[in-house]
A and B are shown apart, each in its own frame.
Chain A
Amino acid sequence: AQSVTQPDIHITVSEGASLELRCNYSYGATPYLFWYVQSPGQGLQLLLKYFSGDTLVQGIKGFEAEFKRSQSSFNLRKPSVHWSDAAEYFCAVVPNYGGSQGNLIFGKGTKLSVKP
């Protein structure tokens, strides 16, 4: 079945440590790929997106993500996590049906906690 999978429900990292959040998708053609962040009680903010071209995408707040076609993955990374990065992170895709785009489909989210 077509889906967006975030395997980790909850991750805890120490402040200053590196971070990688996983996202896998199962759509035939390469979809459009997004990462959003949601702070408690807030809406979703776009961190970065991939449509085509360079597979390493830079986003806001020091985040980056790498698209790997062979693995159907779009993992989010940050070299050094700050306490303010504690939030929930959502991977999302817009399926690409040969030029006709579908709706934005969200993964179930990964909650990030940051230890002092």
Chain B
Amino acid sequence: NAGVTQTPKFRVLKTGQSMTLLCAQDMNHEYMYWYRQDPGMGLRLIHYSVGEGTTAKGEVPDGYNVSRLKKQNFLLGLESAAPSQTSVYFCASSHGQGRHFGDGTRLSIL
């Protein structure tokens, strides 16, 4: 089973560029999440979704947008990338209180 798959795994952007990170899960989970991980900060929730067509803000939503058009996919968009968004991004899904995590996307903004 693939579980939670994130694409791409690595990306380098210039300031001001836009991009979309894709998360796909094959477990039929209702809940999906996007986190960012920074050194010494643990994981912080950016946005989450409790079902197809719904999204909500997490702890650090500014500068990001998300969409959940299909139950299995959760997209994270950066409209105008900034160096402060250099981070490792993790997607997760759940059907209860636990989370299944993807392997992460390492994003560098120059």
Contact = CB atoms under 8 A, between A and B. Distances in A.
A44 B99 contact: yes
Interface string B35-62: 0000011111100100000000011000
A7 B28 CA distance: 37
Given A106-B43, A108-B40, A46 B98 contact: yes
A49 B97 contact: yes
Interface residues of A, number: 21
B58 A44 contact: no
Place the interface of chain B in its size category. 20 to 34
Interface in A33-67: 34, 36, 41-46, 49, 51
Contact of A34 (B40, B45, B98): B98
Contact of B48 (A32, A101, A103, A107): A103
Interface in B19-41: 33, 40-41
Nearest to B4: A43
Contacts of A32: 97
B42 A46 contact: no
Given A42-B103, A44-B90, A49 B98 contact: yes
A99 B101 CA distance: 25
Given A32-B97, A44-B90, A90 B103 contact: no
The 7 A-B residue pairs with the shortest CB-CB distance, nearest first, are A43-B101, A106-B42, A108-B42, A44-B101, A106-B43, A43-B103, A32-B97
21 contacts: A32-B97, A34-B97, A41-B103, A41-B104, A43-B102, A43-B103, A44-B92, A46-B98, A46-B99, A49-B97, A90-B43, A101-B97, A103-B48, A103-B58, A104-B45, A104-B97, A104-B99, A106-B43, A106-B44, A108-B40, A109-B42
Interface of A: 9, 32, 34, 36, 41-46, 49, 51, 90, 94, 101, 103-104, 106-109
